[in-house]
Amino acid sequence: MHTRTLGQGLEVSAIGLGCMGMSQSYGPNPGSRDDMIGVLRSALDLGVTFFDTAEVYGPHVNEELVGEALAPVRDHAVIATKFGWDIQGGASVGLDSRPEQIRRVAEASLARLRTDVIDLFYQHRVDPAVPIEDVAGTVGELVAEGKVRHFGLSEASAATIRRAHAVFPVTALQSEYSLWTRDPETEVLPTLTELGIGFVPFSPLGKGFLTGTVDAATSFADDDIRRRVPRFQRENLAANNALVEHVTALASARGATPGQVALAWLLAQHPSIAPIPGTRRTERIRENAEATTVALSADDLHDLDGLARRVGVSGDRYNPQMMAYVDREG
């Protein structure tokens, strides 16, 4: 596995592992807890060193799972987790990035992750009620205390990134980015490049769509997040099929899978991009890791760069309730 360097010199595997789906959001997990521990440890065997979790996943149970799996091999893993939600009665009821809450979450996450330090601590969503300067300052204090190594933001606008970075260096931004979600390209990516901040795309495979395994006939369980995403409504999936058909054809010509082409395209966008596709299967981790060996030509990249514009993308990436938590104003 190749490695990538995010901001502030943080080195991670070029392909990370998003762990959320092992505990929530994608329907019933077919494996047991022991199975998922085995999958997490197999990722390290395949060269994946970058693991992404959050207190809100479960809530809490995903951090506990990651902590148990990686405790025996902690020195070989980079663990990212997140703060920023008000969790009550086993569910998030809004945002909360007050300094005292950040500190409470850090202590609880350290315990659940069975570690003395969090490698990368993201604000999960920008809290408009708390100045970002206060957030950055609080995480900076946690770094000084040795409880956190690096500060990250998620779904933050370019203006917010600049304000945070002026107080304490931001190591990475995590936002949705893929062949069919290109929002960061206009303002966010140029800002990250200018400031030397790494980029960690989540849902780099379009929540499974870009693997070619989802189509208009696919049905989703009641607790699958895609039931609430407009882009995954049946009529939109049918319209978006042209995009994945094109990726599939290119993948076939290159001896790769559609998912590998989608990841290889992301890796080619900038040397400090490290996607975190999620999965519950070791064989899919292996497939994703091998995306680092897929060679796309300049013509391939040019073709893929314009794909979404040519064929169009039908449906929003979030519903209005989810979109309300995305920082677009700064």
Catalytic positions are 57
In the numeric block, which tokens belong to residue 181?
A: 């979600």
Closest CA to 123 of 147, 144, 141, 99: 99
Burial 210-224 (b: 16+ CB within 10 A, else e): bbbebeeeeebeeeb
Closest residue by Cα to residue 303 from 259, 261, 257 = 261
DSSP string, 129-158: TS-HHHHHHHHHHHHHTTSEEEEEEES--H
Query: In the β-sheet with 50-52, what is the strand arrangement from edge to edge?
Result: 17-18, 50-52, 78-83, 118-123, 148-154, 170-176, 198-202
Q: Which helix (H) or strand (E) holds 63?
A: helix 61-70
Q: Are 91 and 123 in contact (CB under 8 A)?
A: no
What is the spatial distance between Cα 209 and Cα 241, in angstroms, rounded to a whole number?
A: 9
Sign of the C-alpha dihedral computed for residues 277, 270, 164 and 156 taken in this order: negative
Pair 1, 14: CB distance under 8 Å = yes
> Any idea of the CA torsion for 25, 36, 46, 63, to the nearest 10 degrees?
70
Question: Of 188, 157, 155, which is closest to residue 174 (Cα–Cα)?
Answer: 155
Determine the Cα–Cα distance for residues 48 and 33; give it in Å rounded to an integer: 20
**Contact (Cβ atoms closer than 8 angstroms) between residue 247 and residue 262:** yes
- CA torsion sign for 140, 10, 196, 178 is negative
